[in-house]
Amino acid sequence: MSDCLFCKIAAGEIPSNKVYEDDDFFAFHDIHPKAPTHVLVIPKFHLATLADATKEDSALLGQLMDRVRHIADEVLKLDAGYRVIINVREGGGQVVFHIHVHILGGKRLPF
């Protein structure tokens, strides 16, 4: 999607602090971290919100969660644990309308 911030980050058109990339997914540090480690994982495919996902997106969403696990465990090495968040639409705190998974870790997180 041409005017989407995260599509542009995934394409390298807007710089980011990248931590992982493969053919279908991209991960980078959040610009306003809410924890010592705060990484966003996105599919390169534009899907605005989890609420817009259909059955056809099931494989993509499964792969997304597999990448989240891989990045948290193997790349970021958050051995003590981490939190995974998907904000959905405005009421859920979503600000950027390209689906993304927050990985938060690096300290014991309050509830």
By the 8 A CB rule, do 103 and 76 touch? yes
Work out whether the CA dihedral 56, 61, 64, 69 comes out positive or negative: negative
Q: How far is CA 47 from CA 16, 43, 90, in A?
A: 20, 8, 15
Question: Does residue 4 touch Zn ion according to CB under 5 A?
Answer: yes
93 interacts with ligand 5GP by CB under 6 A: yes
Tokens, residue 83:
């939190």
**Contact with Zn ion (CB under 5 A): which of 18, 46, 70, 83?**
46
Task: Decide which of Zn ion, ligand 5GP, none touches 59; Cβ closer than 5 to 8 Å per partner kind.
Answer: none
Establish if 57 lies at the interface with ligand 5GP (CB under 6 A). Answer: no
Task: Please choose which of Zn ion, ligand 5GP, none residue 96 contacts, taking the beta carbon within 5 to 8 angstroms, the exact cut-off set by kind.
Answer: ligand 5GP
Q: Which of 5, 60 has the CB closer to ligand 5GP?
A: 5
Rounded Cα distance between 43 and 29, Å, is: 15
- Told to judge if 29 belongs to the known catalytic residues of this protein, a careful annotator would answer no
Euclidean distance between CA atoms 50 and 75, whole angstroms:
25
Instruction: Give the residues lining the site for Zn ion (CB under 5 A).
Output: 1, 4, 6-7, 46, 98
Interface residue list for ligand 5GP (CB under 6 A): 5, 16, 28-32, 40, 87, 93-96
